[in-house]
Amino acid sequence: MEFGEGQEEVIMVSEKKRQLASETVEAQPPSKKPPEGENAETMLKALGEELEEEKAKSADYLKRLQYLQADFENYRKRVEKEMSDNRQFGNQRLLSELIVVNDELELALREARGSNENPTIVEGVAMVHKRLQSILSKEGVEKIQSLGSKFNPDLHDAALRVVSDEEEGTIVEEIRQGYTLKGKVLRPSIVKVAENPAERESKSEKSALEEIGDNE
């Protein structure tokens, strides 16, 4: 059978493709086969060791995460407390100044009521004083009750000790009113404290007698 020139070219190209494909197949490396006779026990041991390593890493990561979580929780609580304290005591300085104004108004009222001042003016000052006390009360400012109570260094400043028939350490006079702000001392009371020599002497004698009795 005779072929035209075009058909001969097609046949030659096809032949070259077959040769190229054959060479490519021959050039490919042989596929890897799993090693024969590998010890299954060794493989299991290696896998077990890898598993233990991964478990150890996981435990370490978990511990670190727990530490971070605890640190964050402590930080959150600390920030919340600081914010609460700022809200609660942020106006402490202003309230301290208002207490001084309150002292001056009380002094002015005492002086005015003991003189012949215009009653209208006195009434106006009294209204301002009452309004100021209401504001202080709403903000949590309270008076320290001192007179007749025992001296407490956390609440009181002792200006003088005076001889008195009252029990030793009793507050007999308040020189300046003290205040607390939501349970915290805003300004301590300045007071006079009773000093009872007779009571002190009696306690000393009793203590001496008890000591003698213990030695006998």
Where does the pLDDT of residue 202 fall: very low under 50, low under 70, confident under 90, or very high at 90 and above?
low
Does pLDDT of 185 surpass 90? yes
DSSP state of 6: H
142-to-50, 130, 158 alpha-carbon distances in Å: 69, 14, 20
Does pLDDT of 100 surpass 90? yes
Does pLDDT of 36 surpass 60? no
C-alpha to C-alpha distance for 57 and 49, rounded to whole angstroms: 12
Question: Which residue did the predictor score with more confidence, 9 or 129?
Answer: 129
Q: What is the pLDDT of residue 171?
A: 95
Q: What is the pLDDT of residue 3?
A: 45
Q: What is the pLDDT of residue 116?
A: 76
Q: What is the pLDDT of residue 157?
A: 96
Mark 70-86 as b/e (b = at least 16 C-beta within 10 Å). Answer: eeeeeeeeeeeeeeeee
Question: Which residue did the predictor score with more confidence, 80 or 190?
Answer: 190
User: What number is the average pLDDT over the span 130-141?
Assistant: 93
Where does the pLDDT of residue 133 fall: very low under 50, low under 70, confident under 90, or very high at 90 and above?
very high
Amino acid identity, position 46: A
Q: Is 140 left (phi over 0), alpha (psi -120 to 50) or beta?
A: left
- Start-to-end CA distance of the chain, whole Å, equals 151
User: What number is the average pLDDT over the span 63-80?
Assistant: 87
Q: What is the pLDDT of residue 25?
A: 47
Residue 167 burial (C-beta neighbours within 10 Å; 0-12, 13-18, 19+): exposed
Q: What is the pLDDT of residue 97?
A: 93
Does pLDDT of 23 surpass 60? no
Amino acid identity, position 45: K
143-to-49, 97, 128, 202, 215 alpha-carbon distances in Å: 73, 15, 18, 35, 49
Please give the helix or strand (H or E) that residue 192 lies within, else none: strand 189-195
| Beta-bridge partner residues of 191 | 158, 174
And the tokens for 14?
A: 């096809």
Per-residue pLDDT tens for 141-180?
Answer: 999 999 999 999 999 999 999 998 899 999 999 999 999 9
This prediction has a pTM of 0.55
The CATH topology of domain 142-203 is: Nucleotide Exchange Factor Grpe; Chain A, domain 2 (2.30.22)
> What share of the chain in percent tops pLDDT 70?
74
C-alpha to C-alpha distance for 39 and 45, rounded to whole angstroms: 10
Give me the residue spans of the domains in the chain: 89-139, 142-203
DSSP state of 150: B
Task: Give the DSSP per-residue string, 51-116.
Answer: HHHHHHHHHHHHHHHHHHHHHHHHHHHHHHHHHHHHHHHTTHHHHHHHHHHHHHHHHHHHHHHTTT
Q: What is the pLDDT of residue 196?
A: 86
Q: What is the pLDDT of residue 104?
A: 93
Q: What is the pLDDT of residue 70?
A: 87
Maximal CA-CA distance, the chain: 152
Does pLDDT of 138 surpass 80? yes
